[in-house]
Amino acid sequence: MDNSEKNNNISVEDQIKKEKNENEYEEKNEQKKKYELIKKREEEIREEIIDIVLRQTTYSREESINHLENSKYDFNKVIRNYLMPKAKEQENENKVVQKKINIQQGIYKEIRNMMDSASRKQRQNI
């Protein structure tokens, strides 16, 4: 009896291991299929974006891909730069000239300007 019980236990353990391995294999296959579907969809989206740029500009396919890669596949930027190439340069110049001022800094700037103008007027009256 001891031998038969051991054999039964071993066979049950083997079945459990086999089922576990099968489940793991199925899960890996499902994950692989999902990954392939995602990759396929990403490629379709990329192709659609390239087609949009080709329709809206006179760029060749290679030029479109190059511009899209530089702009991280933002087709709006590519088309905007195609239509107004100097606007990009002007934006960069404006960014350098204009500093961002938060509300607190703006308030104190106005107060200083008001005090400076008042003191100038006072000096002129003397």
Query: What is the predicted pLDDT for the residue at 10?
Result: 66
Residue boundaries of the structural domains of the chain: 2-83
Q: How far is residue 126's CA from residue 123's CA, in Å, rounded to a whole number? A: 5
Question: Which of the pair, 102 or 64, is modelled with greater confidence?
Answer: 64
Report pLDDT digits (tens) over 7-49.
566 677 777 877 888 888 888 899 999 999 999 999 999 999 9
Q: Which two tokens stand for residue 48?
A: 């659609």
Report pLDDT digits (tens) over 66-94.
999 999 999 999 999 898 887 666 666 66
Q: How many CA atoms lie within 13 A of 32 on its CB side?
A: 6
Q: How far is residue 79's CA from residue 122's CA, in Å, rounded to a whole number? A: 56
Residue pair 68/53 in contact by the 8 Å Cβ criterion: yes
Q: How many CA atoms lie within 13 A of 47 on its CB side?
A: 6
pTM equals 0.52
